[in-house]
Amino acid sequence: MNSKYILALCFLAILSSCTTSSKKVSNTSDYNRFLDLAENKTWNDAQKDYNFWSIKLEAAPNQYSYLSKIANTNGAMFASTGKIDYLKSAEKNLRDLNEIRNYKSSGPMKSLAANYISQHKFKAALQLLNKAEMNGDNLLGTQKMLFDVHLELGNYKMAKAYLEKFKNMSDFDYLIRLAKWSDHQGNLDAAITYLEKAKTIAESSNLKGIKQWAYTNLADFYGHAGRIEDSYTHFLKALEIDPNDAYAKKGIA
């Protein structure tokens, strides 16, 4: 077994031994198959893509869009391992791309802002998003990210103002942000309700990425509400989609 997951099993053992309930929530047969993987397919696929785009960039250094492709592969490696080095590599490639374009293109700026958000560099992300907003293209996506950053920075009036700009109860992106806002206001039940609605949309779309996101984040909220079995079940759902989801494994721990 990979040593980095031994601690996860230790935590599960402690939780099982310390609980006063006779009902056992976790079961090693549920998650062992995700821990004892012979290979990390997600990482392997990302590595192949990384090699492909790196060779392409080396052959055509003026094709700057390849930097974005390489950064995406770095992001996939980070998601499957939790190793910050991959996130930092993505940051470097995205910074290079933005410098080449003189920070004039909203897409690369928002990609770098998303990377900063993952690193909790919210002030740096806000600077980029303000520039992207001034550019005006794909404004809705920029406003959603501005809500995220203002909420994290404690700029609650600004966060609320941006939330109102893209209000749509049938939109996955709006619902997950409304859930965050409800949680900030201390209404955990409402937050869970909105995330459950978002999960329904994700499952209807059958897009793996947003289903996985919905499962892991709903699992977090269930955990906050003391609904441990529901939390555990949803982390397992995420692992069914991607057995290498480092965040879901951490959540089970």
pLDDT recorded at residue 29: 52
In a domain, 124, yes or no: no
Q: Interior CA angle at 98 toward 94 and 104, to 5°?
A: 145
- Please state, in angstroms and rounded to a whole number, the distance separating the CA atoms of residues 35 and 195: 27
| Domain at 202, CATH number | 1.25.40.10
Look at the block and give the residue holding tokens 């690193």. Answer: 119
Which residues constitute the domain of residue 243?
Answer: 168-253
Burial grade of 17 (CB within 10 A; 0-12, 13-18, 19 or more) = exposed
In a domain, 58, yes or no: no
Instruction: Return the ∠ at Cα 92 (arms to 91 and 97), rounded to 5°.
Output: 95
Does the residue 191 lie in any domain?
Answer: yes
CA distance 199 to 175: 10
Is position 82 within any domain? no
Q: For residue 222, is it within any domain?
A: yes
- Establish if 195 belongs to a structural domain: yes
Q: What is the pTM of this model?
A: 0.80
Q: Does any domain span residue 149?
A: no
Closest by CA position to 221, among listed 204, 239, 198, 242? 198
- Calculate helix-pair angle for 172-184, 156-165, nearest 10 degrees: 150
Tokens, residue 205: 């779309």
Report the number of distinct structural domains present in the chain.
1
Q: For residue 20, what pLDDT is reported?
A: 41
Domain for residue 214, yes or no? yes
pLDDT tens over the chain, length 253 residues: 444 443 343 443 434 444 444 456 666 656 655 665 556 777 888 899 999 999 999 999 899 999 999 999 999 899 888 899 999 999 999 999 999 999 999 999 999 999 999 999 999 999 999 999 999 888 999 999 999 999 999 999 999 999 999 999 999 999 999 999 999 999 999 999 999 999 999 999 988 889 999 999 999 999 999 999 999 999 999 989 888 787 888 888 7
- pLDDT for 30: 60
